[in-house]
């Protein structure tokens, strides 16, 4: 029922009988409309309310990105065309398709289409996914999973476009080419040769999902073995006794031994950088889902316990950018880490029936607090969804700003929460 229309009809009749009290009647009717609209909003689930809000934000983001694309008129495809963040001068930061964040914006559009089934989101998702096609030939980065599986991977999962499959398989082959069979890990960075020989970062766990997918599609065991070995080697070398993770582990290319363990974006070499812990949780939850190997489930559970029990985890479960940063509580939060953690916990719910209730409770709390306190107001900040993320505080880069990957994992977490709520009647 359209309550606003019905109340308006009642008000018209009241004015016929009480024309001298027009002002009082108008105020009364407006109050009734506001109360009913408030009740109607409260009756929506948090997922429905968030997606309604996200729809407004992403519409703005697509409009601005479309305008920027026309203005840039890219020749190489690696001109700045994909939204990533906001600059200190309060301008949109666009990046080229070879940026590690390039897949998150089209991936968010795919999630929006998956939830709403509105063709306009599919059209936008296809458009911004297509911009990344040339990266199928990129061999210079481990971030191909972020770039291509978040975009083309979600697109293929949803629409089964055979051209997407071909592009993803080419990408997976190039990611596999970065694997060192002696070290049994995939190289992360090609820069910094004066600092390390063969650097591997915990973030690299996230890119293994593309290789597991390629194995399922082709039954070529080399994809599976590369991903498996990388996960096992990382499990053995990246973690401390308390299951916190180092950011960077550097390997000796001759002996295969670990040369050094350090950070690049955390507070210190021995600190627990929040997003690194989130990558670890997500990565091992995914590896168990893909392999069924209990050591990966145990690792994910141990990382979850580290996060959940840490004395510096705030009550709202939105972590500070580093758990050991010295000025807590006067340190920036990282909403991106929170969104990744929530998505990982919802994934872990399907694997660990014993602890499912606790994981779901914490994941729900994160979503509630992100929704209540971290959503960008409607039509603000260029259409980003979450505010108050931290990219790299040591480099004074992207501190307390929106980030495209925070938005992506928030959307993914909402999708996963929606599935859990339906299956368990919550």
Per-chain mean pLDDT for the chain: 92
Q: Per the structure block, which two tokens stand in for 1?
A: 């029922």
Do both 25 and 67 map to the same domain?
A: no
Q: Which residues contact 387 (CB under 8 A, 6 or more apart)?
A: 335, 374, 375, 376, 381, 400, 401, 402
Do both 37 and 92 map to the same domain?
A: no
Task: Give the confidence band of 175 by pLDDT, cuts at 50, 70, 90.
Answer: very high
Q: Does the annotation count 66 as an active-site position?
A: no
Do both 297 and 172 map to the same domain?
A: yes
pLDDT for 43: 66
User: Catalytic one among 79, 98, 118, 143?
Assistant: 143
pLDDT for 42: 53
Q: What mean pLDDT is predicted for residues 316-329? A: 98
Do both 11 and 139 map to the same domain?
A: no
pLDDT tens, residue by residue, 276-299: 999 999 999 999 999 999 999 999
What percent of the chain stands above pLDDT 70? 89
CATH of the domain at 153: 1.50.10.10
The more confident residue out of 336 and 76 is 336
Instruction: Provide the number of structural domains found in the chain.
Output: 2
Q: Per the structure block, which two tokens stand in for 127?
A: 């458009």
pLDDT tens, residue by residue, 251-278: 999 999 999 999 999 999 999 999 999 9
Do both 235 and 294 map to the same domain?
A: yes
* Three-class DSSP labels, 362-412: HHHHHHHHHHHHCECCCCCHHHCCECCEEEEHHHCEEEEECEHHHHHHHHH
User: Catalytic one among 99, 203, 334, 364?
Assistant: 203
Do both 232 and 281 map to the same domain?
A: yes
Which position has the token pair 């495209």? 404
Residue 381 sits in which domain range?
Answer: 44-424
- Is the pLDDT at 345 greater than 70? The verdict is yes
Q: Does the annotation count 143 as an active-site position?
A: yes
Do both 347 and 412 map to the same domain?
A: yes
**What DSSP character marks residue 251?**
E
Do both 76 and 14 map to the same domain?
A: no
pTM of the model: 0.90
pLDDT for 182: 97
Q: Per the structure block, which two tokens stand in for 350?
A: 């399907």
pLDDT for 21: 57
Do both 145 and 27 map to the same domain?
A: no
Do both 91 and 16 map to the same domain?
A: no
Do both 188 and 84 map to the same domain?
A: yes
- Is the pLDDT at 6 greater than 90? The verdict is no
Do both 318 and 336 map to the same domain?
A: yes
User: Which among 26, 43, 60 is the end of a domain?
Assistant: 43
Rounded Cα gap, residues 375 and 388, in angstroms:
9
Q: Per the structure block, which two tokens stand in for 378?
A: 């409607």
Task: Give the confidence band of 44 by pLDDT, cuts at 50, 70, 90.
Answer: confident
- Is the pLDDT at 22 greater than 90? The verdict is no
């Amino acid at each position: 029922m359209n309550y606003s229309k019905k109340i308006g009809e009642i008000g018209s009749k009241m004015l016929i009988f009480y024309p001298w009290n027009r002002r009082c009647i108008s105020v009364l009717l407006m109050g009734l409309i506001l109360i009913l609209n408030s009740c109607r909003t409260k009756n929506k689930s948090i997922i429905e309310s968030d997606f309604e809000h996200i729809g407004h934000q992403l519409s703005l983001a697509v409009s601005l990105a479309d305008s920027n694309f026309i203005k840039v008129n890219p020749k190489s495809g690696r001109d700045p065309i994909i939204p990533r963040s906001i600059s200190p001068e309060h301008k949109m930061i666009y990046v080229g398709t070879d940026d590690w964040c390039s897949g998150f914006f089209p991936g968010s559009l795919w999630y929006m289409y998956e939830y709403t089934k509105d063709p306009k989101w599919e059209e936008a998702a296809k458009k911004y996914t297509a911009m990344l096609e040339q990266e199928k030939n990129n061999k210079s980065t481990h971030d191909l999973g972020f770039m291509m599986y978040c975009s083309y991977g979600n697109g293929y999962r949803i629409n089964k476009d055979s051209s997407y499959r071909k592009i993803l398989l080419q990408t997976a082959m190039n990611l596999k080419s970065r694997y060192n069979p002696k070290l049994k890990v995939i190289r992360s960075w090609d820069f910094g040769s004066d600092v390390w020989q063969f650097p591997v970062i915990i973030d690299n766990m996230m890119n293994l999902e593309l290789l597991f997918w390629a194995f399922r599609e082709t039954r070529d065991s080399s994809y599976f073995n590369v991903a498996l070995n990388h996960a096992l080697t990382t499990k053995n070398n990246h973690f401390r006794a308390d299951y916190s993770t180092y950011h960077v582990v550097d390997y000796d290319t001759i002996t295969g031994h670990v040369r050094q363990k350090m950070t690049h974006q955390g507070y210190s070499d021995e600190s627990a950088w929040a997003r690194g812990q989130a990558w670890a949780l997500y990565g091992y939850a995914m590896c168990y889902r893909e392999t069924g190997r209990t050591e990966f489930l145990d690792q994910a559970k141990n990382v979850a316990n580290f996060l959940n029990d840490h004395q510096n985890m705030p009550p709202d479960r939105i972590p500070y950018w580093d758990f050991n940063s010295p000025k807590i509580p006067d340190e920036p939060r990282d909403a991106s880490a929170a969104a990744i953690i929530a998505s990982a916990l919802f994934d872990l719910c399907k694997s660990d029936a014993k602890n499912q209730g606790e994981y779901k409770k914490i994941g729900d709390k994160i979503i509630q607090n992100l929704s209540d306190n971290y959503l960008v107001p409607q039509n603000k900040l260029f259409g980003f969804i979450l505010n108050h993320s931290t990219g790299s505080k040591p480099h004074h880069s992207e501190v307390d700003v929106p980030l495209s990957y925070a938005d992506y994992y928030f959307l993914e977490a909402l999708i996963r929460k929606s599935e859990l709520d339906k299956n368990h009647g919550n």
